[in-house]
Amino acid sequence: MKLFAPLIGALALATLSVTVQAQPAQPDLRRGAELYGGVCVACHGADGNSSTAANPKLAQQHPEYLIKQLREYKSGKRANAIMAGFAAGLSDQDMIDISYWLASQKKTPGFAQNKETIELGEKIYRGGIADRKIAACMACHSPNGAGIPAQYPRLGGQHAEYTAAQLRAFRSGERNNNLQMTHIAQYMTDAEIDAVSDFIAGLR
């Protein structure tokens, strides 16, 4: 038994070492704010609430989602020349710090603009498109657009133009970092994309 004691102890230490190394890096919100202010603020606003419809609101977004997107911009899995350039200079810790700081910021509400399509947009968001077997958006993104942390992003209040652009990019294959969304968007018409995007902008 004495012969096995050192071996058991060594195995225990090795297991502990692996466990410690496997722990996720802790976010530094102060550093995240500084990095954001130097890299991201021009396009996404001082607090992550972009005032330009072409640039997404990032405030209060789930940090896991933001980290994933930044990593995929850096690797090229998500294609965007501007974001690839910014992400290239970020370390993994930078991405974590920025993403968690953004998650701590409060998003500003958005508004649906088109009264004529609000009914169609709500129908798609809450009930999907049955004849094309498209699931309801709220099944993954929740009834109020808050999403599901670590799985599905927050959509409520997002600029309609940005949401519509992403759905079209999924449909065309230009954006191919989410197979589930590609399968959904490929069956949607422009009118349906615009309607549901406008409806999403008003969710809160």
Each residue of 78-135: pLDDT tens digit? 999 999 999 999 999 999 999 999 999 999 999 999 999 999 999 999 999 999 999 9
> What are 10's two structure tokens?
């060594």
Q: What whole-number distance in Å separates Cα of residue 133 and Cα of residue 131? A: 6
**Which domains does the chain carry?**
29-103 (1.10.760.10), 118-201 (1.10.760.10)
Question: Is residue 171's pLDDT more than 60?
Answer: yes
Q: What is the pLDDT of residue 19?
A: 37
Q: What whole-number distance in Å separates Cα of residue 3 and Cα of residue 17? A: 23
**Lowest-confidence range among 8-12, 52-56, 82-86, 168-172?**
8-12
- C-beta of residue 157 within 8 angstroms of C-beta of residue 145: yes
Mean pLDDT of the chain: 91
Positive or negative: CA dihedral 7, 10, 16, 20: negative
Contacts of 147 (CB under 8 A, 6+ apart): 62, 65, 140, 141, 153, 154, 155
CA contacts within 13 A on the Cβ side of 92: 6
- C-beta of residue 110 within 8 angstroms of C-beta of residue 158: yes
pTM, two decimals, is 0.87
Q: What whole-number distance in Å separates Cα of residue 65 and Cα of residue 84? A: 16
Q: What whole-number distance in Å separates Cα of residue 72 and Cα of residue 203? A: 27
pLDDT tens per residue, range 49-65: 999 999 999 999 999 99
> Which stretch of DSSP H or E encloses residue 123?
helix 118-127
